[in-house]
Amino acid sequence: MARETQKQFAVIGLGRFGSSVARTLHAHGYQVLGIDDEEERVRANLDHCTRAVEADATDEQALRALGIRNFDTVIVGIGGDIQASILVTLMLKELGVKQVVVKAQSDVHGKVLYKVGADRVVFPERDMGTRVARNLVASNILEYIELAPELSILEFLVSDNMVGQTLRTLDLRSRYASNIIAIKRGEEFELALQADYRIQAGDVLVVVGRNEDLKRLERV
pLDDT score, position 133: 56
Distant-in-sequence, close-in-space partners of 206: CB < 8 Å, separation ≥ 6: 28, 153, 154, 155, 180, 181, 182, 183, 184, 189
**71, pLDDT greater than 70:** yes
**1, pLDDT greater than 50:** no
pLDDT score, position 134: 52
77-85: average pLDDT: 89
**CATH 3.40.50.720 placement within the chain:** 2-122
- 141 pairs with which residues across the strands? 156
Distances (CA, A) of 158 to 15, 141, 198, 220: 32, 9, 12, 9
- 166 pairs with which residues across the strands? 198
**114, pLDDT greater than 90:** yes
Contact (Cβ atoms closer than 8 angstroms) between residue 81 and residue 56: no
pLDDT score, position 106: 87
Angstrom distance (rounded) from CA 142 to CA 82: 31
Angstrom distance (rounded) from CA 102 to CA 115: 12
Distant-in-sequence, close-in-space partners of 117: CB < 8 Å, separation ≥ 6: 89, 90, 92, 93, 100
**CATH 3.30.70.1450 placement within the chain:** 127-218
CATH number of this structure's domain 127-218: 3.30.70.1450
Residue 11: count of CB within 10 angstroms of its CB: 29
Closest CA to 144 of 132, 154, 130: 154
Angle in degrees, 0-180, between the axes of helices 82-94 and 107-115, rounded to the nearest 10: 20
pLDDT score, position 116: 95
pLDDT tens-place string over residues 42-65: 999 999 999 999 999 999 999 999
pLDDT tens-place string over residues 121-140: 888 776 666 555 555 545 56
The band of 100, judged by pLDDT with boundaries at 50, 70 and 90, is very high
pLDDT score, position 155: 84
* pTM score of the predicted model: 0.62
pLDDT score, position 158: 87
The band of 192, judged by pLDDT with boundaries at 50, 70 and 90, is confident
pLDDT above 70 as % of the chain:
85
CATH number of this structure's domain 2-122: 3.40.50.720
What is the rounded average pLDDT for all residues in the chain?
A: 86
Q: Which of 30-34, 35-39, 105-109, 137-141 has the lowest mean pLDDT?
A: 137-141
Greater confidence, 144 or 152?
152
Q: Which of 57-71, 72-86, 129-143 has the lowest mean pLDDT?
A: 129-143
The band of 4, judged by pLDDT with boundaries at 50, 70 and 90, is very low
